[in-house]
Chains A and B, each alone.
Chain A
Amino acid sequence: MTFEPYSDEVRKLFSHPEHAGEVDGGVESFVEDQGVRIRLTMAHIDDRIEELRFQAWGCPHLLAACEWFCATCETGTLADLRHFERSELMQTLAVPVEKTGRILVLEDAVRSLGAAVRDTST
């Protein structure tokens, strides 16, 4: 059995995080837990997500997960934030089960972003 901690997808997303950064003036969420930090910023027009960016401090799986989330949900709708689930992400990136806690932090950050949108809309 060989020890390869990262899938090709994780390596690719970690090496080329095209959605790393921030959206000036966008809605944002920040969560710090489980020894990691995630900040998401987003611009949206009505229900449509126009731009989604992340900043993160954590392991390669977490950084890759943040990039995957932004790439997947950008150009989607706000409903995508509500429906975000870690299971597809963990399967696609082959995230080891012991890192579930860190991926849950991303899930919290996504929910927090959704809540921020609702707050700014009211």
Chain B
Amino acid sequence: MRDDLIYLDYAATTPLDPQVAELMSAMLKNDTSFANSSAVHIAGRRASVIVEQAAAQLARLLNCAPAELIWTSGATESNNLAITGAARYRTHRGKHLITMPTEHKAVADVFRALETQGFDVTWLSPDESGSLDLQDLDAAFRDDTTLVSIMYVNNETGVLQDIAAIGERCRNRDVLFHVDAAQGVGKLPFDLASLPVDLASMTAHKVYGPTGIGALYIADRPRCHVEPLYYGGGQQHGVRPGTLPVTLIAAFGLAAEIATSSMATDFEHVQALRERLWAGLQPIAGVVRNGDAENSYPGILNVSIDDIEGESLLLALEPLCVATGSACNSQNQEPSYVLRALGRDDALAQSAVRVSFGRMSTESEIDFAVERYRESVERLRAIAPGRAASAT
């Protein structure tokens, strides 16, 4: 990390793993890695082998078949392709879809778009901890339900959903189940051989790979189909055509391989950091933890603070790089819709700060963050007038 900033926004995007950076650098300088992997000449065949190797690496992480993976530009595209593609493919069965308002915008906005195209969406609210009540899901199924989409790890709070139980309910009703797994893949076990999941979205840049490359898992058994969003050269069975970015794919593959071997160590590391961070922040008056402390990925800690303005807090916290709301939406200072859905009022939702950390984070960075947070809150409170100040 650069000396002038402390990066604690790993849920937005992670730094490149040094091994991944080294691989990319070598490939970008290589004279044949740029080749079109669909070409039949020798350079193309070499590129094709690299792509196959990366698919095998990612498939090992997910315990699925390499052929079940489609390369995309990232989780946003994967979500769009999975949800829109599956919903459209199954219109002969019905047009009812189920999701939650706490999904990432890359999912929620797809459903909103589908609502304008004649689909009927049921939005299941979470309980106060952020979890889906399975009884609510049971009650929401209809004869014309074709797809359920629920995320694995919430990007703002880290709260986990019971993917196995949700998937089981979908399978029993022959309803497709899509999981936005962008925050979970490579950080938590996500075994697609045992989980009843039909479609899963993921991206490299949340797991120490580069931005610009993601993947969509499309289950082969039972066979799942999606309608393509666009058309072109027929690559990837026509599901997602286009010349493949070989270097990015190789980088994703290596990042997945590293994640496979380091997942347990990484988990223990971020768990210890979150405990340290929360122990430091908890004594500050008015601090509230957002999301379930137990049932959550420990690389994310989301806290609100009573009567502190969120935008000022974020600036006061510099050089900490943390997030308010979801990072993808950080230019919008509206209160987090995820925290509002969890029952937080506007003021608490607006003051929420998401601190997220990972493999490269250190105890000293966490200690610095705690100190900075304390100082900032103290300073802003000292400047603020009381609510009961008298007008003259």
B385 partner residues in chain A, CB cutoff 8 A? 30, 37-39, 55-57
B316 partner residues in chain A, CB cutoff 8 A? 14
The reply on A20 being an interface residue by CB < 8 A is yes
Known contacts: A59-B309, A60-B311. The answer to whether A119 contacts B391 by CB under 8 A is no
Q: Which of B309, B382, B390 contacts A20 (CB 8 A)?
A: B382
Bound complex: CA A118 to CA B387 (Å): 25
Bound complex: CA A31 to CA B331 (Å): 27
The reply on B68 being an interface residue by CB < 8 A is no
The reply on B315 being an interface residue by CB < 8 A is yes
A56 near B384 (CB under 8 angstroms)?
A: yes
Q: Which of A11, A29, A57 contacts B391 (CB 8 A)?
A: A29
A63 partner residues in chain B, CB cutoff 8 A? 312, 383
Q: Give residues of chain B (329-360) contacting chain A, Cβ–Cβ below 8 Å.
A: 331, 333
Name the residue among B311, B383, B384 with the largest chain A CB count within 10 angstroms: B383
Bound complex: CA A59 to CA B311 (Å): 6
Q: State the interface size on chain B (CB cutoff 8 A).
A: 18
Q: Which of A3, A36, A60 contacts B331 (CB 8 A)?
A: A3
Bound complex: CA A56 to CA B312 (Å): 11
As a 0/1 sequence over residues 356 to 392 of chain B, the CB contacts with chain A under 8 angstroms (1 = contact) are 0000000000000000000000001011110101111
The reply on B307 being an interface residue by CB < 8 A is yes
The reply on A104 being an interface residue by CB < 8 A is no
B390 partner residues in chain A, CB cutoff 8 A? 28, 30
Bound complex: CA A55 to CA B309 (Å): 13
B315 partner residues in chain A, CB cutoff 8 A? 6, 11, 14, 60
The reply on A93 being an interface residue by CB < 8 A is no
Q: Give residues of chain A (15-63) contacting chain B, Cβ–Cβ below 8 Å.
A: 17, 20, 27-32, 36-39, 55-60, 63
B331 partner residues in chain A, CB cutoff 8 A? 3, 5
The reply on A116 being an interface residue by CB < 8 A is yes
A119 near B392 (CB under 8 angstroms)?
A: yes
A57 near B389 (CB under 8 angstroms)?
A: no
The reply on A77 being an interface residue by CB < 8 A is no
Question: How far apart are A103's CB and chain B's nearest CB, in angstroms?
Answer: 15
A6 partner residues in chain B, CB cutoff 8 A? 315
Bound complex: CA A33 to CA B389 (Å): 13
Question: How far apart are B286's CB and chain A's nearest CB, in angstroms?
Answer: 13
Q: Give residues of chain A (65-85) contacting chain B, Cβ–Cβ below 8 Å.
A: none
B309 near A27 (CB under 8 angstroms)?
A: no
Question: How far apart are B102's CB and chain A's nearest CB, in angstroms?
Answer: 24
Question: How far apart are B136's CB and chain A's nearest CB, in angstroms?
Answer: 33
Bound complex: CA A60 to CA B311 (Å): 7
Known contacts: A28-B392, A112-B391, A119-B392. The answer to whether A57 contacts B384 by CB under 8 A is yes
A60 near B392 (CB under 8 angstroms)?
A: no
B312 near A32 (CB under 8 angstroms)?
A: no
Give 15 A-B pairs besides A14-B312, A60-B312 with Cβ atoms closer than 8 angstroms: A3-B331, A5-B331, A6-B315, A28-B389, A30-B385, A30-B389, A36-B309, A37-B384, A39-B385, A56-B383, A57-B309, A58-B309, A63-B312, A112-B391, A116-B392
8 pairs of A and B residues whose beta carbons are closest in the complex? A39-B385, A55-B385, A57-B384, A116-B392, A30-B389, A59-B311, A30-B391, A20-B383
What are 25 sample pairs from A and B whose C-beta atoms fall under 8 A apart? A11-B315, A14-B316, A20-B382, A20-B383, A28-B392, A29-B391, A30-B385, A30-B391, A36-B309, A37-B385, A37-B389, A38-B385, A39-B385, A39-B389, A55-B383, A56-B384, A56-B385, A57-B309, A57-B383, A58-B309, A59-B311, A59-B333, A60-B315, A112-B391, A116-B392
Taking Cβ atoms with an 8 Å cutoff, the residues of A that contact B are 3, 5-6, 11, 14, 17, 20, 27-32, 36-39, 55-60, 63, 112, 116, 119
